[in-house]
Structure 1
């Protein structure tokens, strides 16, 4: 399955959750709900996946964890904050680099309209 197809499934699942629960819950609640919804699709979903840092060919397990990874192709970083900022974007870009994935989705559920909290982030100059 292509990253764009996965992205659409994630968007639809997130929208369903947002319509049912609205903004204001903890990040962990949205993450669990999104994991549940995506699991129902039959896609491979990994939750709280450890992501090591490799430095000079040495694997360093320093505690990086991806919220969700779909089909080993798309990273999802779930937020529930007042607004997204540059550090959130940098975090997803780092996860993309460490994982080798091409697409990251930064989702802030604490918005009035779900689409305003949904951001697609590409790894480098890869066009999808």
Structure 2
């Protein structure tokens, strides 16, 4: 599957989860349920994947943790906030750059309408 095909499944699954659960729960709840829904659709999902950071030739084993990585191609950063800040997009773009992944989705389950809570970010796609 291409990144775009995977993203389509992710957006559809996020819509289903948000419709069923609504806004306002903890991010960890949405992470678990979204991972379950994506796995049900036959996609490989890794939760809380540690990603090392290399700084001046030193490998720091736990630079950050990606909320979800789908099919080893798409990073999903989950939030459950009333309003996203600009730093949230920058965070995901940095994750994409450090992992050499081309597509990320920032999904804010705190929005009343999930369509307003999904931001697509690319790194050379």
TM bin, normalised by shorter chain, reads over 0.9
SS in 2 for 1:53: strand
- Which residue is equivalent to 1:97? 97
- Which residue is equivalent to 2:112? 112
Write the deviation string for residues 58-80 of structure 1: whole angstroms up to 9, x where unpaired.
21124410000011110000100
Structure 2 residue runs of 5 or longer lacking an equivalent are none
Structure 1 segments of 4+ aligned residues over 3 angstroms from their partners:
none
- Which residue is equivalent to 2:37? 37
Write the deviation string for residues 21-68 of structure 1: whole angstroms up to 9, x where unpaired.
110111110011101001112211111000110122321124410000
Count residues with an aligned counterpart: 125
- Correspondence 1:13-92 to 2 at 5 A: 13-92=13-92
**RMSD, aligned α-carbons:** 1.0
8 Å contact from structure 2 (residues 53, 63) kept in 1: no
TM-score (norm 2): 0.96
Could you tell me how far apart the structure 1 residues matched to 2:28 and 2:43 are?
A: 21
Structure 1 residue runs of 5 or longer lacking an equivalent are none
Could you tell me how far apart the structure 2 residues matched to 1:33 and 1:113 are?
A: 18
